[in-house]
Amino acid sequence: MTTPLNERRIANAIRVLAMDAVQKANSGHPGAPMGMADIADVVWREFLSHNPTNPNWANRDRFVLSNGHGSMLQYALLHLTGYDLSIEDLKAFRQLHSKTPGHPELGYAPGIETTTGPLGQGIANAVGFALAEKTLAAQFNKEDISVVDHFTYCFLGDGCLMEGVSHEACSLAGTLGLGKLVAYYDDNGISIDGEVEGWFSDDTEQRFLAYGWQVLKVDGHDADALRAATLEAKAETKKPTIIICKTIIGLGSPNKQGKEDCHGAPLGNDEIALTREALGWTEGPFEIPADVYAAWDAKAKGTEAEQAWNETFAAYAAKYPTEAAELKRRISGDLPADFAAAADAYIAKVNAKAETIATRKASQNAIQAFAPLLPEILGGSADLAGSNLTLWKGAEGVQDNAAGNYVHYGVREFGMTAIANGVALHGGFIPYVATFLMFMEYARNAVRMSALMKQRVIHVYTHDSIGLGEDGPTHQPIEQIASLRGTPNLNTWRPCDTVEAAISWKSALLRSEGPTALIFSRQNLPFQTRTAAQIENAAKGGYVLAEEKGELKAIIIATGSEVSLAMDAYAQLEGVRVVSMPCAEEFVKQDAAYREAVLPSNIRARVAVEAAHVDYWWKFVGLDGRVVGMTTYGESAPAKDLYQHFGITAEAVVAAVKEITA
């Protein structure tokens, strides 16, 4: 190795901060930060273009720590380079309300680009960042001026490569030629259970070559080799690059380096003392000498880089004012000022048309209406565009044109969703992704991450119930809607017709504080007649669709395809109102007076009907109520026969109402 001693000392600052913070917390993972410190030194001090004084500078390079258990690596880097993350913040590692939680969390500390921890999703997010950069650059850069021009750097470990989502995302990254993505694989051969060769013997080099990546191999502790490899990676603009870095986990610890002992537990005070001695580090816990701080400080360099870009952007704005204004709007996340009014006009048009069609088709119609108004939409589907109807006139695949607006993700539900999270995090786009509702299960953890990170990602799910018919129980979702509704900060819409479908799309697009799941039917659903006031109230998530005839005695609550069953039952009953509740999350956000007007608390006779698991609805109907729905898996048969077989019928709703009002 040719790393000079002074450079190793600079990297050792990461090692001592990591072991000190983990020891103080008595919890954490010191091994990865200590093993990757030399890689981090080269990448962050010499290649990463960022500005600690403005962490959200638009053209910064993105950095993702996919092996997020090594979070002290990133916290140490942020502190050392000059972000607003103090030594006291590092001392508060893993403590309540600190900026330094156990895994990197978006919004806690400046400079954290994405929440990582669930292994493999960080590299998938990084693919999303790189995809967004490439597409945004193609849409806005000119031959004479480039204003979108940055790299995405990602650190990842064995666990990320073992998780299947990394295969999905990295395969697509190679196909799309994301040349500004550079990944550094911490090849230390150790996981919590020990030496990985007993359960991870993949030929990683050949795997990534097969994906279409450039693959480089280096000693992860050799700064010169790391420099040369990074330069080679940046020079390859048509392929993403993975640099396989052979490292020693916990480097510097005399008795624990290279072993699982340092992976997920503190080194211990005695071993830390020995490590300080081995590293030649004489300073005490959390003490960094001034010359080391000076070597790491990136504020001046970052400010200079941002100022240079600001000058470039000013020249761009002078020559291309329309494009500059549009880019600023899109990066800010603001929708066009006239969008809401245009959406309302479209909803009124849909209401006047009064079509009886499948809500998946109503969804496609809404996309067709809204996409031309919102060039930031970046759609996509996991190979089912012809079934979930996510393509629209004007959609163009990014595989054919980098400036396109649609991604053919292939059969990669998990990868697709995690990539979309990265696209949203990058900025400049509103991604939507689609599959059958049943196959949301493949993507479940990435949907959760959308909600956890409060990202505007739209998850489109079709074939929403036993109503999809003959494909049978493997394809018929039962518990999935309840699972989505149980996810904090996720809005789940299940519209009953064309009007509610259009309203759900408008709501999802306007919602900037989190993701939305839109759930649509395969089969045609009857149009429901509404007043203007009812259309306005539908956006509140729940509303009275049919007023009671006479004194109110019972309430029927329904969503999606079962609203028509509720209406059929309503025609046979007196003293009953029908409440359509396309989005329960929106409904419960309404003020108490509105909720009481829709669901009067003195009316305990309530029946909910939905072709999904019954358990969700007890919160609305109470223990005295009834739920008409599913408690088993489905069967293979035509939809009409299935509804009859499982007792999800207007007759069943009528019987339930009569039973509780008798």
Return d(Cα 101, Cα 90) in angstroms, integer: 10
Question: What value does the mean pLDDT take over residues 368-377?
Answer: 98
Mean pLDDT, residues 187-202 taken together = 96
Report the amino acid identity of residue 441: E
pLDDT digit string, tens, across residues 404-438: 999 999 999 999 999 999 999 999 999 999 999 99
Alpha carbons 444 and 110: distance in angstroms, whole number: 28
The mean predicted confidence, pLDDT, of the chain is 97
Count other Cβ atoms within 10 Å, centred on residue 297: 15
Kind plus residue range of the DSSP H or E element containing 450: helix 444-452
475 is in an annotated binding site: yes
Q: Which amino acid is at 374?
A: L
Kindly give, in sequence order, each residue whose CB lies less than 8 Å from that of residue 82, ignoring residues fewer than 6 positions away: 52, 53, 296, 297, 298, 299, 302
pLDDT at 3: 54
Amino acid at 257: Q
Average pLDDT, integer, range 386-398: 97
Maximum alpha-carbon separation in the chain: 89
**CATH pick for 542-661 out of 1.10.287.90, 3.30.300.30, 3.40.50.920, 3.40.605.10:** 3.40.50.920
**What amino acid is encoded at 436 in this protein?**
F
Is the pLDDT assigned to residue 38 strictly greater than 90?
A: yes
Residue 104 annotated in ligand binding: no
Asked whether the beta carbons of 521 and 364 are under 8 A apart, the reply is no
Is 459 marked within a binding site? no
Residue 8 counted as an annotated binding residue: no
**Residue 413 falls in the annotated catalytic set:** yes
How far is Cα 621 from Cα 470, in angstroms, rounded to an integer? 31
For the domain 338-525, what is the CATH code?
3.40.50.970
Say if strands 516-519 and 491-493 run parallel, antiparallel, or are unpaired. parallel
Which residue's entry shows tokens 């245009």?
A: 342
Question: Is 316 within 8 Å of 324 (Cβ atoms)?
Answer: yes
Listed by start position, the domains of the chain span 5-303, 338-525, 542-661
Q: Which pLDDT value is given to residue 6?
A: 87
Does 522 belong to an annotated binding site? yes
State pLDDT tens for residues 464-516.
Answer: 999 999 999 999 999 999 999 999 999 999 999 999 999 999 999 999 999 99
| Residue 526 reports pLDDT greater than 60 | yes
- Whether residue 220 is annotated as binding a ligand: the answer is no
CB hemisphere CA count around 289 (13 angstroms): 11
Distances (CA, A) of 580 to 164, 481, 541, 545, 546: 39, 16, 8, 6, 9
- The SS3 call for residue 330 is helix
Q: Tell me what pLDDT residue 5 has.
A: 56
Ligand-binding site membership of 463 (annotated): yes
Strand partners, 63: 153
Q: Which residue from 136, 118, 114 is spatially nearest to 126, judged by alpha carbons?
A: 114
* Torsion, Cα of 98, 100, 104, 110 (10° steps): 90
- Check whether 50 is labelled as a binding-site residue: no
Residue length, the chain?
Answer: 662
What is the structure's pLDDT at 482?
A: 98
Give the relative orientation of helices 71-81 and 5-25 as an angle to the nearest 10 degrees: 120
Q: How far apart are CA 85 and CA 77, in angstroms?
A: 10
pLDDT confidence bin for 393, thresholds 50/70/90 = very high
How wide is the angle at C-alpha 452 spanned by C-alphas 450 and 454, nearest 5°?
A: 65
Cα–Cα dist 258/35, whole Å = 9
CATH of domain 5-303: 3.40.50.970
* CB of 376 closer than 8 Å to CB of 428: yes
Q: Which amino acid is at 555?
A: I
Q: What is the mean pLDDT of residues 211-232?
A: 98
Do the beta carbons of residue 179 and residue 239 sit within 8 Å? yes
Q: Is 119 marked as a binding-site residue?
A: yes
Do 542-661 and 338-525 have the same topology in CATH?
A: yes
Percentage of the chain beyond pLDDT 90 is: 99
Are 137 and 146 in contact by the 8 Å Cβ rule? The answer is yes
Written as one string, the DSSP assignment of 316-378 is: HHHH-HHHHHHHHHHHHTPPPTTHHHHHHHHHHHHHHH---EEHHHHHHHHHHHHGGG-TTEE
pLDDT value of residue 1: 45
Helices 321-332 and 121-140: angle between axes, nearest 10 degrees: 160
**Which residue of the set 413, 562, 586, 610 is catalytic?**
413
Ordered alpha helix ranges (H), 202-338: 204-211, 223-235, 269-279, 290-296, 299-319, 321-332
